[in-house]
Amino acid sequence: MTHLVKTLTLVTAAIATTGATAQLTSQSLVPDPNALSFDHVPNRIFVRFADPENSPINVQILDEVGGTIRSESKLVPGLVTVDTSIPVDRALKVLSSKRNAIKYVEPVYIVEAFDTIPNDPMYNDLYGMEQVRAHQAWDDHVGDQDFIIAIIDTGVDYTHQDLVANMWTNPGEIPGNGQDDDGNGYVDDVYGYDFSNYDSDPMDFNGHGTHCAGTVGGVGNNGVGVAGVNWHCRIVGAQFLSSGGSGSTDGAIDAVEYCAINQFKVSNNSWGGGGFSQALFDVVQAAGDDYGHIFVAAAGNGGSYGASYPAAMTCTNLIAVAATDINENMASFSQYHPVEVDLGAPGVDVLSSTPGNNYSYYSGTSMATPHVAGGVGLIYSVLGDSSATEVIDIILSTTRSIPSMEGNTVTGGVLNVAEALENTFLGPKITMVSSVPVEMDPNVALGVTVHVDPREDDLTGSVYLHYNDGDGWNMMAMDASGSMEYSASVPGMNCDDMPEFYVTCSGVVAGDVAHPSGGASNAYSWLVGNLVVAYEDNGESNGDWTVSTNSLDGGWDRGVPINCNRGDPSGDYDGSGSCWLTDNSSADGCNSDVDEGSTTLTSGFIYLTGIDNPTLSYARWFHNTYGAAPNTDTFLVEWSADGSNWYELESVGPSGPEVSGGWVHVAFGVNDFAGDVDAIQLRFTASDIGADTQSVVEAGVDAVMVTSVDCDDASDCPADATGDGYVNVSDLLAAIGDWGASDSAADANGDGTVDVADLLMMIDAWGACE
């Protein structure tokens, strides 16, 4: 309810602000009228275009300020960071006249960490944990080792003795190989990423970020140093502040977007300064709306009425934090406001980790904020699939009232982790006991065992196994097989099938719960048979590919995507680094694409002799929605068995959902389109030959493979017609039901007909399959 009150108040404030801004828009598109009075990066601005796809007009507008696009937002359409050849004040003035083409333009502010000089040690305990009642909450919950909290700051000393066990290590990244193994757009981001130097090492050489990390998630009960609000969690270093403690808002935006696309639910933001940034607002709000991200921000250390930015932003997924001292007085340096600042937390003489296995006392709203970020993480890790709004409502509605916060914050209180935890509800939790294979032999059942803990709820009815056999979803009740354990079997499947399953139960209060979350849309799956890779090309060499081009520009090229922001990929498909692309060059200012003609990429012969039922797959990229004549061209994929006669495999475009970029992975059975052939060639053609050649055409190809499924072990238990791992009455009934059929799992001897011979074989094999 508290958060609802705040939200309504903020909406009112936003309307009032919008009204004030509206009076300025006749003269300026800069959101903050005092923008130039704040420290900002020279010759760099944010621009948000009204029509992101009108590339020629947008480029023409930027030419007026000597602008080149530095980066493009991954969350907010049309938002770009631009380097200019003229001063910022002149650039803002020029671009403010482009009301039909630009939503807003603003400086890139310089911000700083919100801390003061560390005090001499005067306290030998963590008084803050008692103030926020964390010690009472720890009786019930000390964190979740899989829950990730980002420290957007000066980095984190990921080798610190009190943090190393709680550091996030990217499971999809191979350290030090110089490649983006997990395909998230960042190379070697093992512990996070540095958006100050734009490299993969977020090591802290300042101390501020490591101090915040220790309060959020210093390992607890390990006999070393301090304990964070979360004894167990995963800490990510999302660095954008330099070793000197300052940074710019474009780096902050990149850090927030990194958190969002990696689905980190909480970030600690103990920094601020500068004016109102509409660009930062849009990105933070999008991270909340699209990814459930909660942005916890420090109110500021000016000792003044009103929060600093970004804490003063009215994003619905933002919590602003003031600082209190050991006596629960408001810290003399803390900024405060009954609408802009949500709650207080300890921020004076806070002991926490610093680089090099050290510990120090720091003061600042920077130190208060990680108490709250840690509390948010603790609650969010319990609530699981809840929304950011639900978590924030619990945090703000359970604060502990104290006089120094009344009238100075929205809630009038300080963080109360124990009360917040009391207000969560722990519904049933399903966890896997058995493992899920990558591959299995045909006609072999998969035993599934799960642990179902009702926690604070009561189960209603049965626990169910849902499985998809290729013909649709089936459901069966699981048998209770032990203390809170349930078991059932997915029947064996045929060679080349890809079965799926998930498990559900129901709670009296929580209702239906699925594991994995999402149920059928996120089910476990595996391959029946063994995958054999007969051919693979991931674009790491030219190989025997050839290129022929009759266009004026934009021919096929192989390499690491440059991403010129004109519809071309920002990375390859499979994370190997390289792929085939049209116009992979920035030499002409990124204005090149396929122009007035076609470019064709042709493979060498892919030999198929001895491969049963081969499957051809590849990833493709196509974009044709930019330019004066969008949606007029196609991307053609063809095949040939002899190199002379070519046949269409697929044609993409000129319109539809697959012409706006993004890698699309497709697969085709070779026998289905080519019959039984010994070899095939492929060719990919991108063209600019439509009714009007003013379209911007970009294409890409990656991860070309030919695979087959080997099922040599298909007859290990041929009499098991039902695939449950046993030969029994159910198999006899299956044979009787399919009597005379030529295509049935009950054809145990494989002679093409279900008959008496199959019944006799079943009787002879009676019992469990070996």
Residue indicated by tokens 């089910």? 523
Q: What is the mean pLDDT of residues 655-676?
A: 86
Specify the 3-state DSSP secondary structure of 209. Answer: helix
Query: ω before 654 within 30° of 0 (cis)?
Result: yes
Q: Is the pLDDT of residue 24 over 60?
A: no
Average pLDDT, the chain: 87
Phi/psi of residue 569, each to 5°?
-65, 150
d(CA 509, CA 433): 25
Contacts from 513-518 at CB under 8 Å and sequence distance 24+? 513/427, 513/428, 513/429, 513/430, 514/430, 515/430, 515/431, 515/432, 515/450, 517/384, 517/385
| Of the listed ranges 291-295, 306-310, 490-494, 747-751, the one predicted with least confidence | 747-751
Segment (H or E) for 113: strand 102-113
Q: Which are the contacts of 81, defined by CB distance < 8 A and separation ≥ 6? A: 44, 45, 46, 69, 70, 71, 72, 108, 250, 253
H helices of 414-492, in order, are 417-422
- Other C-beta atoms within 10 Å of 401: how many? 11
Q: Which 8-state DSSP code applies to residue 74? A: S
pLDDT band at 588 (very low <50, low <70, confident <90, very high): low
Segment (H or E) for 615: strand 615-627
d(CA 314, CA 121): 37
Q: Is the pLDDT of residue 459 over 90?
A: yes
Q: What is the mean pLDDT of residues 592-618?
A: 91
Highest mean pLDDT among 64-68, 197-201, 374-378: 374-378
Nearest Cα neighbor of 253 from 211, 281, 275 is 281
Q: Is the pLDDT of residue 1 over 60?
A: no
Tens digits of residue pLDDT in 634-645: 999 999 999 999
Q: Is the pLDDT of residue 674 over 60?
A: yes
Tokens representing 291 are: 């990814």
pLDDT band at 770 (very low <50, low <70, confident <90, very high): low
d(CA 24, CA 565): 31
Phi/psi of residue 471, each to 5°?
-105, 5
Q: Which of 3, 40, 208, 211 is catalytic?
A: 208
Q: Is 366 an active-site residue?
A: yes
In the chain, pLDDT over 70 holds for what percent of residues?
Answer: 91
Q: How far is CA 558 from CA 252, 542, 582, 701, in A?
A: 33, 7, 8, 9
Tens digits of residue pLDDT in 115-153: 543 333 333 467 898 899 988 888 778 888 889 999 999
Q: What is the mean pLDDT of residues 13-20?
A: 28
Q: What is the mean pLDDT of residues 93-115?
A: 87
8 Å CB contact between 17 and 312: no
Specify the 3-state DSSP secondary structure of 47. Answer: strand
Nearest Cα neighbor of 567 from 72, 50, 62 is 72
Tokens representing 194 are: 């540095």
Angle at 313 between CA 307 and CA 317, to 5 degrees: 120
| Of the listed ranges 92-106, 163-177, 506-520, the one predicted with least confidence | 506-520
Question: How confident is the model at residue 475, as a pLDDT?
Answer: 95
Q: Which are the contacts of 596, defined by CB distance < 8 A and separation ≥ 6? A: 551, 552, 688, 689, 693
Nearest Cα neighbor of 153 from 230, 213, 84, 71 is 213
8 Å CB contact between 342 and 4: no
Question: How confident is the model at residue 586, as a pLDDT?
Answer: 64
Question: How confident is the model at residue 9, as a pLDDT?
Answer: 33
Nearest Cα neighbor of 80 from 241, 244, 320, 254 is 254
Q: Is the pLDDT of residue 620 over 60?
A: yes
Tens digits of residue pLDDT in 477-490: 999 987 899 999 99
Q: Is 115 an active-site residue?
A: no
In the chain, pLDDT over 90 holds for what percent of residues?
Answer: 55
b (16+ CB within 10 A) / e for 186-223: bbbbbbbbbbbeeebbbbbebbbbbbbbbbbbbbbeee
Q: Position 492: which residue type?
A: G
Cα 491 to chain centroid, rounded = 34
Please give the residue that has the higher pLDDT: either 186 or 752. Answer: 186
Nearest Cα neighbor of 643 from 598, 604, 601 is 604
d(CA 211, CA 351): 8
Strands (DSSP E) contained in 530-614 are 530-537, 546-549, 556-559, 579-582, 597-602, 606-607
DSSP string covering 416-430, please? -HHHHHHTS----EE
Question: How confident is the model at residue 684, as a pLDDT?
Answer: 97
H helices of 25-177, in order, are 55-63, 88-95, 127-131, 134-137
Q: How far is CA 89 from CA 37, 40, 123, in A?
A: 11, 11, 49
8 Å CB contact between 333 and 364: yes
Cα 524 to chain centroid, rounded = 19
Q: Is the pLDDT of residue 708 over 70?
A: yes
Question: How confident is the model at residue 16, as a pLDDT?
Answer: 27
Nearest Cα neighbor of 352 from 151, 116, 128 is 128
- Other C-beta atoms within 10 Å of 504: how many? 20
Q: How far is CA 224 from CA 125, 197, 357, in A?
A: 13, 32, 10
Highest mean pLDDT among 172-186, 258-272, 449-463, 503-517: 258-272
Tens digits of residue pLDDT in 134-143: 888 887 788 8
Q: Could you tell me the end-to-end alpha-carbon distance of the chain, in angstroms, rounded to an integer? A: 61
pLDDT band at 767 (very low <50, low <70, confident <90, very high): confident
Q: Are strands 606-607 and 647-652 parallel, antiparallel or unpaired?
A: unpaired
Tens digits of residue pLDDT in 520-533: 877 899 988 888 89
d(CA 272, CA 310): 6
Question: How confident is the model at residue 126, as a pLDDT?
Answer: 77
Q: Which of 153, 393, 553, 688 is catalytic?
A: 153
Q: Is 665 an active-site residue?
A: no
d(CA 532, CA 332): 68
Q: How far is CA 70 from CA 58, 73, 93, 334, in A?
A: 14, 10, 20, 36
Question: How confident is the model at residue 21, as a pLDDT?
Answer: 30
Q: Position 269: which residue type?
A: N
Which residues share a beta bridge with 647? 639
pLDDT band at 22 (very low <50, low <70, confident <90, very high): very low
Tokens representing 444 are: 């072999």
8 Å CB contact between 396 and 339: no
Question: How confident is the model at residue 403, as a pLDDT?
Answer: 96
Please give the residue that has the higher pLDDT: either 9 or 748. Answer: 748
Question: How confident is the model at residue 565, as a pLDDT?
Answer: 54
Question: How confident is the model at residue 694, as a pLDDT?
Answer: 66
Q: What is the mean pLDDT of residues 717-736?
A: 84
Helix (DSSP H) and strand (DSSP E) numbers for the chain: 14, 42
8 Å CB contact between 185 and 236: no
Q: Which of 71, 270, 366, 578 is catalytic?
A: 366
Q: Is the pLDDT of residue 195 over 70?
A: yes
Which residues share a beta bridge with 446? 490
Contacts from 476-482 at CB under 8 Å and sequence distance 24+? 478/448, 478/450, 478/503, 481/449
H helices of 122-237, in order, are 127-131, 134-137, 208-217
8 Å CB contact between 306 and 403: no
Q: At what angle do helices 278-291 and 249-261 cross, to 10 degrees?
A: 10
Q: Is the pLDDT of residue 2 over 70?
A: no
Question: How confident is the model at residue 289, as a pLDDT?
Answer: 92
Question: How confident is the model at residue 6, as a pLDDT?
Answer: 41
